[in-house]
Homo-oligomer: A and B are copies of this chain.
């Protein structure tokens, strides 16, 4: 039964599952993450769960609480400013690098992903929106072939994932940032500068949304 499962080790699968739980906000900020809890929830052994937790802690997705426990971090204004600063330098750069490698089939794939984003927004389906939005951005970034910067971007997304989910739940999915149409138009036109500007706006908008939620104490 584990014919194909045997290719991917349990600790990797466990990591991916826990990572998605954080990334798509199925764990809210402040939620404690216990080893034993995950052992029974994901029914994996203790070692794979431990490794997944360590990896995500190293990526900033989880925070050690001093007393050997870890929890999903709560975003503060200070932390958000740092995330925004880093995103606004790294991700536009990734878009610029990706622009040099864009092919019609890739643009089509991005279009499909963005259609999913639109549908999720219209349906008010937040989990789907978060997943599709993430997929859109990283499909683009992966084309940059800049692994180091993509790693940094991934880590940053993990840091605001849980809070973004909360923000969406409060404000609904209407006011969500979506400069993807602009971005796609720029890609089709082969205009790297316009692509960079679209991505930059998208990020700035998203970060502002979270910033306001923090300022008004909603998170």
Contacts and interface: CB of A to CB of B under 8 A. Distances in A.
Interface in A35-81: 47, 50-51, 54-60, 68, 78-79
A93 interface: yes
Interface string A190-213: 000000000000000000000000
A77 to B, nearest CB: 12
Contact of A159 (B51, B79, B89, B148): B148
A165 to B, nearest CB: 19
B60 A151 contact: yes
A81 to B, nearest CB: 8
Interface size class of A (residues with CB under 8 A): 20 to 34
B54 A149 contact: no
Given A60-B148, A152-B155, 16 more contacts: A47-B47, A51-B54, A58-B58, A58-B59, A78-B145, A79-B148, A82-B147, A82-B148, A83-B148, A85-B93, A86-B89, A86-B152, A89-B90, A148-B156, A148-B159, A152-B152
